[in-house]
């Protein structure tokens, strides 16, 4: 009894929808044909990967086995030959360069002009009209001038051009040293050795040598991979344009092979001959430097904090190589290296802003100059607090904060001048101060190292026997 009205209502709605669909199908077909014709006429109007804002590189879309890319049409140059048409006869006008005439005789008299005021007559650019049926040719008897290039000039010209460098085996030690950034690697090994020496355990020469060697090999691996990734950007910077990969002294495959030849034995030595914790920290440092710090240099200013973390790990590796565990003293040494790197690197990058900008690196000195100066001052003052914390963690004696206070105050003073002035001179002074500040700070910490418990017990036992 109630089903009949429902069936009628559903049939009415169905017929109405069907009629609308039947009327709309031709319009849809016409719209689809219009879009297809528009695509065939101008396929470049469609959205391609180039229109996406988050992609920085140019991409090309492939449609119908043809490549289409948006490009600014090249302007048609104005031809030097002008065609003129006069009464159906085509004429051609050529430009003849000006020839300076040398007047050797008296100036010819021109009617109406006196000799004193008569201007000198020089031939100017002449328009020579050549008809199709009659063309005049003037042949000069003077021999053409031929420029002969000397051997010295040719050598100088070729030196200024790109040329393929020949591989020389005698230069390999120097190339490997540049590829591994030997000075930076030496600093890394020094900080790792300082961490081993500060650990409260007996000194083991074998473990010390193996841990230093493994840390150096890991640093060589990370620096080589870093240069492999940054070849296109290093070529734009004056500071890095002479690196081996940029100059083509070795192939990229050779550089990667050298990195693997350093990294694999280095991590194996740290893991098998020292302890797994030190090997893990070495592998982590390679990963952070190559896969985090290197790409972040072109993306965000956070690369400076990641780079400071990379520099703080080597002294922790030295401590763990000696003790086999992470202790507050290891983290304190890592904190000293972490804070020291900000006044050191920020002062260095301040005078290299043009180079970093040319290479496309997002450094604090380029994008946030005010923050660059503030961070350098903040971490310089932080060195004073970390030095005061060392005796509280039983790493050094209480004399260490006192004798390290002058050098910490001096670097903080230079950082304050850099923050206040922000010129090249103040940045240079802060950078050179940081070069001797770190070894001096580590040396003072080593001289004020707190004696081990076994040494204290051994010193206390004779006193107990005498009493």
What are the pLDDT digits (tens) for 165-185?
A: 566 677 888 899 999 999 999
Nearest to 187 by CA among 443, 449, 444, 438: 438
Averaged pLDDT, 151-155? 78
**Confidence (pLDDT) at 233:** 86
**Confidence (pLDDT) at 49:** 38
1.10.1740, 2.30.30, 3.40.50, 1.20.120: CATH of 328-452? 1.20.120
Those residues whose C-beta lies under 8 Å from the C-beta of residue 125, and which sit 6 or more positions away, are: 95, 96, 97, 98
Those residues whose C-beta lies under 8 Å from the C-beta of residue 218, and which sit 6 or more positions away, are: 262, 263, 266, 267, 270, 282, 283, 285, 286
Q: Which CATH architecture has domain 171-326?
A: Orthogonal Bundle (1.10)
Q: Average model confidence (pLDDT) for the chain?
A: 76
Residue 297, SS3 per DSSP: coil
Domain ranges for the chain? 171-326, 328-452
pLDDT interval class at 144 (50, 70, 90): low
Question: Rounded to an integer, what distance in angstroms lies between the CA atom of residue 279 and that of residue 333?
Answer: 19
**Confidence (pLDDT) at 131:** 46
Who wins on pLDDT, 167 or 336? 336
**Confidence (pLDDT) at 112:** 47
Q: Which two tokens stand for residue 72?
A: 């600014």
Let me know if 201 is exposed, middle or buried by CB neighbors in 10 A (0-12, 13-18, 19+): middle
Question: Rounded to an integer, what distance in angstroms lies between the CA atom of residue 288 and that of residue 412?
Answer: 29
Averaged pLDDT, 210-238? 91
Q: Which of 17-26, 154-163, 228-237, 379-388 has the highest average model confidence (pLDDT)?
A: 379-388
For the entire predicted model, the pTM comes to: 0.63
Question: Which tens digits make up the pLDDT trace of 34-87?
Answer: 656 655 555 444 444 344 443 333 333 344 444 444 444 555 555 554 444 444
Who wins on pLDDT, 97 or 113? 97
pLDDT interval class at 92 (50, 70, 90): low
Nearest to 136 by CA among 94, 74, 75, 99: 94
Where do runs of H (alpha helix) occur along 134-272?
151-159, 172-179, 182-198, 205-229, 231-234, 244-247, 252-268
Assess whether pLDDT exceeds 60 at residue 88.
no
Query: Which of 67-71, 311-315, 334-338, 457-461 shows the lowest per-residue confidence on average (mean pLDDT)?
Result: 67-71
**Confidence (pLDDT) at 13:** 56
Assess whether pLDDT exceeds 90 at residue 93.
no
Q: How far is CA 460 from CA 397, 448, 449, in A?
A: 18, 20, 18
Assess whether pLDDT exceeds 70 at residue 388.
yes
Those residues whose C-beta lies under 8 Å from the C-beta of residue 221, and which sit 6 or more positions away, are: 259, 260, 262, 263, 266, 286
**Confidence (pLDDT) at 41:** 55
pLDDT interval class at 116 (50, 70, 90): very low
Do the bridges between strand 82-86 and strand 66-68 make them parallel or antiparallel, or are there none, so unpaired? unpaired
Report yes or no: 280 and 294 within 8 Å, Cβ to Cβ.
Answer: no
**Confidence (pLDDT) at 54:** 36
Query: Which of 29-38, 194-203, 321-330 shows the lowest per-residue confidence on average (mean pLDDT)?
Result: 29-38
Q: How far is CA 456 from CA 71, 327, 452, 460, in A?
A: 79, 20, 6, 6
Residue 437: alpha-carbon gap to chain centroid: 27
Question: Rounded to an integer, what distance in angstroms lies between the CA atom of residue 327 and that of residue 349?
Answer: 33
**Confidence (pLDDT) at 24:** 66
Q: What are the φ/ψ torsions at residue 250 (nearest 5 degrees)?
A: -135, 160
pLDDT interval class at 212 (50, 70, 90): very high
Question: Rounded to an integer, what distance in angstroms lies between the CA atom of residue 387 and that of residue 403?
Answer: 10
Question: Rounded to an integer, what distance in angstroms lies between the CA atom of residue 397 and that of residue 450?
Answer: 5
């Amino acid at each position: 009894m109630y089903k009949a009205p429902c069936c009628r209502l559903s049939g009415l709605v169905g017929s109405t929808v069907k009629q609308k669909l039947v009327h709309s199908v031709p319009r849809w077909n016409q719209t689809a044909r219009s879009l297809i014709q528009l695509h065939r006429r101008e396929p470049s109007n469609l959205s391609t990967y180039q229109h996406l804002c988050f992609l920085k590189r140019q991409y090309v879309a492939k449609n119908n086995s043809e490549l289409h890319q948006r490009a600014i049409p090249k302007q048609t140059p104005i031809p030097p030959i002008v065609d003129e048409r006069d009464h159906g006869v085509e004429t051609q006008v050529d430009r003849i360069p000006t020839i300076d005439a040398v007047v050797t005789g008296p100036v010819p008299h021109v009617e109406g002009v006196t000799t004193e005021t008569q201007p000198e007559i020089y031939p100017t650019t002449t328009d020579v009209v050549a008809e199709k049926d009659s063309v005049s040719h003037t042949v000069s008897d003077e021999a053409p001038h031929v420029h002969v290039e000397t051997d010295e000039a040719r050598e100088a010209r070729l030196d200024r051009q790109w040329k393929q460098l020949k591989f020389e085996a005698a230069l390999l030690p120097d190339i490997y040293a540049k590829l591994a950034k030997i000075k930076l690697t030496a600093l890394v090994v020094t900080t790792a050795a300082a961490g081993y020496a500060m650990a409260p355990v007996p000194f083991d020469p074998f473990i010390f040598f193996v841990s230093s060697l493994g840390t150096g090999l890991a640093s060589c691996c990370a620096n080589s991979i870093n240069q492999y990734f940054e070849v296109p950007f290093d070529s734009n910077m004056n500071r890095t344009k002479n690196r081996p990969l940029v100059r083509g002294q070795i192939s990229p495959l050779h550089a990667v092979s050298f990195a693997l030849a350093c990294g694999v034995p280095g991590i194996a030595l740290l893991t098998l001959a020292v302890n797994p914790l030190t090997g893990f920290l070495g592998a982590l440092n390679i990963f952070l430097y190559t896969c985090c710090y290197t790409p972040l240099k072109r993306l965000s200013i956070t690369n400076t904090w990641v780079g400071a973390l990379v520099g703080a790990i080597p002294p922790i590796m030295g401590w763990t190589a000696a003790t086999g565990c992470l202790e507050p003293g290891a983290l304190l040494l890592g904190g000293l290296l972490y804070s020291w790197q900000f006044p050191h690197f920020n002062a260095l990058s301040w005078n290299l802003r043009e180079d970093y900008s040319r290479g496309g690196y997002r450094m604090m000195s380029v994008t946030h100059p005010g923050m660059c100066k503030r961070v350098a001052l903040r971490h310089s003052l932080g060195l004073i607090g970390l030095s005061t914390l060392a005796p509280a963690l039983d790493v050094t004696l209480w004399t260490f904060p006192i004798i390290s206070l002058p050098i910490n105050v001096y670097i903080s003073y230079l950082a304050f001048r850099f923050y206040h002035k922000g010129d090249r001179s103040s940045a240079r002074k802060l950078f050179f101060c940081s070069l001797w500040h770190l070894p001096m700070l580590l040396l003072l910490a080593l001289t004020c190292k707190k004696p081990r418990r076994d040494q204290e017990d051994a010193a206390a036992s004779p006193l107990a026997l005498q009493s």
